[in-house]
Amino acid sequence: MNNGGHADIRVPLIAGNWKLHHTLEETRSWCETLATQTKHSDSELSLLVAPPFTALQTAAHSLAGSVIALAGQDCFFEDKGAYTGEVSAPLLKDIGCSHCIIGHSERRQYFGDDDTTVQRKVRALLEHGLIPILCVGESLTEREDGRATQVVVRQLGAALAGMDHLGSDSLVVAYEPVWAIGTGKTATPEDAQHMHRTIRDHLGKLMGVSSARHVRILYGGSVKPDNAYALMSGPDIDGALVGGASLNAKDFLSIAKESNRAWMSR
Ligand code: PGA
């Protein structure tokens, strides 16, 4: 499928973040559904899933030969050593991941990830040729105080400090307003587009305007089949990072279809 001939330079990415969900059996079943349903699809959309670490091998096996890429949900910044409980970029690469989510608000809120650790993790992934899906987003208080842009710009600048030669293929950014994650609330399509444009403009300052034009910026926070079309209509919205609705293979596929429809029509 082509996109109707318009000159959109970024093919959308729909990424599923399972968080702490799915056994091996559930993983197999989800992956088999996705692999079967996308086999003869002519959609150009990129698809990706981030299962828990315990399910990565099963997912890698079930998705082999499919178009669906694999991601970690987090990684530590050291390659190896005495770090009980951690997983590193080389280990994620070894198991077949091409991407890894970094700086998710749940990591920042519950596990102490801050701007410095996020930057070190981004760097570790890049060193090993993995693509960080860098999450940024403001809390409800920060939005209500009128500081949403300031927070997001700070998070971006800190995470990408010293990486001004970053190529556009080396990075995905996900804008996830914290108040929209798992709450059923979403930013309006206009607010989302506005923040995505702000992010792209700021990326232009950090990595150069032409690279920034090609970086995919995903929206995340309560994306569902019935709101995906509206959310994906903004010209700077290049896909979605989907939590709850990605657990069900059919819902995830519906979101991908709706996003493709939005992309084709813009
Ligand atoms: P949600 O989660 O879709 O369940 O709101 C999104 C995310 O946290 O990535």
Q: What mean pLDDT comes out for the span 12-40?
A: 97
CB neighbour list of residue 128: distance below 8 Å, 6 or more residues apart? 79, 89, 90, 93
Question: Between helices 148-159 and 115-127, what is the axis angle to 10°?
Answer: 40
Residue nearest to atom 7 of ligand 1 (CA): 243
Amino acid of residue 260? N
- Mean of pLDDT values over 47-63: 98
Binding pocket residue ranges, ligand 1, CB within 6 Å: 17, 176, 181-182, 220-223, 241-245
Confidence tier at 9 by pLDDT (50, 70, 90): confident
| Closest residue by Cα to residue 33 from 16, 20, 52 | 16
Whether the CB-CB separation of 88 and 130 falls below 8 Å is answered with no
pLDDT tens readout for residues 118-134 = 999 999 999 999 999 99
Is it the case that residue 84 has pLDDT exceeding 70?
yes
For 167, the token pair is 């190529």
Instruction: Single out the residue of 215, 200, 207, 18 nearest to residue 101, CA to CA.
Output: 18
Q: Please write the tens of the pLDDT for every residue from 92-112.
A: 999 999 999 999 999 999 999
Residue numbers annotated as active site: 104, 176
Q: What is the pLDDT of residues 178-235, one digit of tens each?
A: 999 999 999 999 999 999 999 999 999 999 999 999 999 999 999 999 999 999 999 9
Residues 173/13/60/244 CA torsion (nearest 10 deg): 80
Ligand 1 centroid distance, CA of 229 (Å): 17
**Ligand 1 pocket test, candidate residues 241, 247, 254, 255, most atoms within 8 A of CB:** 241
- For the cut 50, the answer to whether the pLDDT of residue 5 exceeds it is no
Centroid of ligand 1 to alpha carbon of 111 (angstroms) = 17
Q: Is residue 6 scored above 80 in pLDDT?
A: no
pLDDT of residue 56 exceeding 60? yes
What pTM, to 2 d.p., does this model score? Answer: 0.96
Nearest CA to ligand 1 atom 3: 243
Read out DSSP for 168-202?
Answer: GGG-EEEE--GGGTTTS----HHHHHHHHHHHHHH
Q: What confidence score (pLDDT) does residue 2 get?
A: 39
Whether the CB-CB separation of 18 and 50 falls below 8 Å is answered with: yes
Provide the strand spans (E) within 84-209.
99-102, 131-136, 172-175
Quickly tell me which residue has 């279809």 as its tokens. 257
The ligand 1 atom nearest the CA atom of 224: 3
> Atom of ligand 1 at shortest distance to CA of 174?
9
How many other CB atoms sit within 10 Å of the CB of residue 77?
20
pLDDT of residue 8: 60
DSSP annotation of 88 reads: B
If one residue of 134, 222, 232, 247 were mutated to test the ligand 1 pocket, choosing by the most ligand atoms within 8 A of its CB, it would be: 222
The whole-chain average pLDDT of the chain stands at 94
Mean pLDDT across the stretch 135-159? 97
Q: Which of these, 121, 257, 98, lies nearest to 135 by C-alpha position?
A: 121
Nearest CA to ligand 1 atom 9: 243
Task: Compute the distance between CA of residue 72 and CA of residue 57 in angstroms, rounded to an integer.
Answer: 11
In this model, does residue 7 exceed pLDDT 50?
no
pLDDT tens track for 188-203: 999 999 999 999 999 9
